[in-house]
Chains A and B, each alone.
Chain A
Amino acid sequence: MSRDFHSVHSEPSGFLRRYVFSTDHKVIAKQYLALSMFWGLFGGATAYLIRWQLARPEAEVPGWGYVSPDVYNALVTMHGTIMVFFVAMPFLLAVFGNFLIPLMIGARDMAFPRLNMLSVWVFFLASVTLLASIFVPGGPASAGWTGYPPLSAKPEYTGVDWGLNLWILALALEFASFLLGGINFLTTVMNLRAPGMTFFRLPMLVWMQLIAAVVFMISVGPLIAGAVMLLLDRIAGTTFYLPEGGGEPLLWQHLFWFFGHPEVYVILLPAFGIILDVMSVFSRKPVFGYRPIIYASLVAGFLSFVVWAHHQYISGLDPRLAMPFSVTTILISVPFSFVVFSMIATLWGGSIQFTTPMLFAVGSLGVFIFGGLTGIFNGSAPFDIYIHDTYFVVAHFHSTLISAVFFGGLAGLYFWFPKMFGRMMNETLGKIHFWLTFACFILVFGPMHLLGLGGMMRRIANPLQYDFLKPLEPLNLFITIAATVLILSQVIFVVNFVVSLVRGKAAASNPWKANTLEWATASPPPHENFEKIPSVYRGPYEYSVPGASDDWLPQDRPLADAGAAAR
């Protein structure tokens, strides 16, 4: 039986064992949450500096001072690196995966609790390394979060020496941490499910975490090899990416984007899992098309491996390859459209409760549709050649990423906060937070498409050096003001989070009347999760079952108590 792999231990008593070197998946999830919130604030600060530099390129940034072009390059590089690898990944995968997978499958912990502790500490080391890289002589990496050689391959080219080496090291540690985490997730779900928990009774969130783990695992390997080569070019004199030694700069682009494109789905899929679970609960309806969504996500995961060169249409790629990669890219919109329509169909005709998590989930869907539509434009080579490396692309990928990380992730945090911390968050503040964030998002990233169509390129410290960009300056100022409000609105969230943590109303074990197993135990769950491992009788989404006495039917409730009324 699954339980035999885990003997029941009493909770460790020392402070260090309990909160610092803990092997409890719930504590580890909170550690990841703390780290990703720290990095989120850091990444937000870089966005603030970038935006004000663009709003008034020749003036000082309020509260900071003059930003030189070198510093600007470093800021853009750090912003991208931090947001993707140190906010999105830990928040969406590590926090929700760690906290929810054992609870949702009815296990006492992960399959390898000590490996789990190792993952979070390796990630901590990666964080320290990235922070350290800012303070070494020469400053932090400034070759963009994509680190294209030859710029990144020789210290002379950017003037950054150890900053970039440490950047590579930080990413390597980050990848190692998430590989270990993924192995743990996969093994846990394969080996430790509670009795009756078949694969097709797993909640969406668990499925999406699994698919994301596999996609990450397959895509990151070549980039790990590529990063080793880049580091060797910098410190051992090899010439993998340097044409003068017979190397090929394009090789990095292939390795990077073979990872980079699947990576956006690694971020997106867990967010889909959150959104689908939240939508089902608050529309009191089953997820529409449970199995087809799983199949569609698998198809999208597979297709994500054959689209990478759509980032390289103007990189000197053989032009004959543009067409096949356009076709595969646009093909991906088929499975994703399916998931989007399933979400809409889940909402359709439901008794919708607009709680804060639901607002964020619906907002996420709206923003994703927005970003997904411009993705179809970017994917087709003739259009992309025109807007490549402009703010149109920046607007596009922020729509998809912010849909996943911001709206999707926050939907999850508001939803599972009661389970994590045993207290409710304030709904009014939550709703204000949502509406401000949503409105500002539109004001920031909507007009950004116009900047791109107007020809403004990305990663440029001073657009005013080009006459044709001068008329865009008022628009830049407008976007910056909206972005500042967007960043400031997050203060509402932080206040709500902190105050609720200490003074929030105590949460019942199942405040949202949801079906999945994590709600079958106390809030917060005890050290071993369940007093007795539950038995699972049905799928996760039996809401509003006709004839049942309640409008929800938990996965672990035997039919006898589900009320004779059920039939």
Chain B
Amino acid sequence: MVKTDVMTPFVEAATPPGKTGLWWFLASEIPVFGGLIASYVVLRLGSSGWAEAASHLNFSYALINTFLLLTSSMTIVMAHAAARDRSFGRASLFLGATVLLGAGFLGIKALEYSGEIAHGFTPAAGIFWSFYYAMTGLHALHVLVGIVANLTLWIDAVRGRLARHPHRVEVAGLYWHFVDIVWIFLFPLIYLS
């Protein structure tokens, strides 16, 4: 009863390994932020005094930052579209814009942190501040990594080397969207509630 003798034609996944790998990487990142966010929500629901602490946050900075990140998600999509159409000049323009917007985000975040610390709201100032710095800090680190990734691609684009691996723009874009989506969760949870 040798029934499995027919060789099934092998259908190769069209996805390059880099993209599959990045999807799994993102899958492993979601529980990290998920665990942090869930801890924050559960502890916050179970205790009082957090809203008072949260009222010392600078809402306008956060709003500007939200706007910067959302715009940068758009520019990286445009960079991807340009790279796919093989117009690498446009791609480098949009990659550069993405890098600048990300850097702007970090700059404003630094202003925000220094203002808070100047008012005595350090990570040791209480449980709300512990969470605030851990969550936004971990996110900021991810922004930094994204900036470095986009910057290397921008350098490649400027030097005319992007043509060899245009699909990397898509991979970097996926990561950048993830960073953006995390912020979309953090912003209301921290600043709006």
Contacts and interface: CB of A to CB of B under 8 A. Distances in A.
B3 to A, nearest CB: 9
A238 B33 contact: no
Given A183-B24, A237-B124, A238-B124, A223 B35 contact: yes
Interface stretch (A120-128, A132-140, A240-248, A367-375): A240-248
B32 A112 contact: no
Contact of B17 (A187, A219, A246): A187
B7 A190 contact: no
Contacts, number: 161
A236 interface: yes
Contact of A191 (B20, B30, B32, B126): B20
Contact of A537 (B7, B33, B35): B7
Contacts of B32: 221-222, 224-225
B34 A240 contact: no
Given A221-B32, A239-B126, A535-B7, A228 B21 contact: no
Choose among A183, A218, A567 the residue with the greatest number of B CB atoms under 10 Å from its CB: A183
A517 B13 CA distance: 21
Interface string A208-251: 00000000011111111110110011001111100001111001
Interface in B4-26: 4-10, 12-13, 15-17, 20-21, 24-25
Contact of B4 (A248, A258, A537): A537
B138 A228 contact: yes
Interface residues of A, number: 65
Interface stretch (A50-58, A266-274, A493-501, A542-550): A542-550
A432 interface: no
A196 B130 contact: no
Nearest to A243: B127
A538 interface: yes
Interface residues of B, number: 47
A217 B16 CA distance: 21
Interface string A344-370: 000000000000000000000000000
A240 B132 CA distance: 11
A241 to B, nearest CB: 10
B89 interface: no
A237 B123 contact: yes
A221 B35 contact: yes
Interface in A526-555: 535-539, 542, 545-548, 553
A2 B8 contact: no
A183 B39 contact: no
A236 B39 contact: no
Interface of B: 1-2, 4-10, 12-13, 15-17, 20-21, 24-25, 27-36, 38-39, 42-43, 46-47, 49, 122-124, 126-131, 133-134, 138
Interface of A: 1-2, 5, 111-112, 115, 179, 182-184, 186-188, 190-198, 201, 217-226, 228-229, 232-233, 236-240, 245-248, 251, 255, 258, 535-539, 542, 545-548, 553, 558-559, 562, 566-567
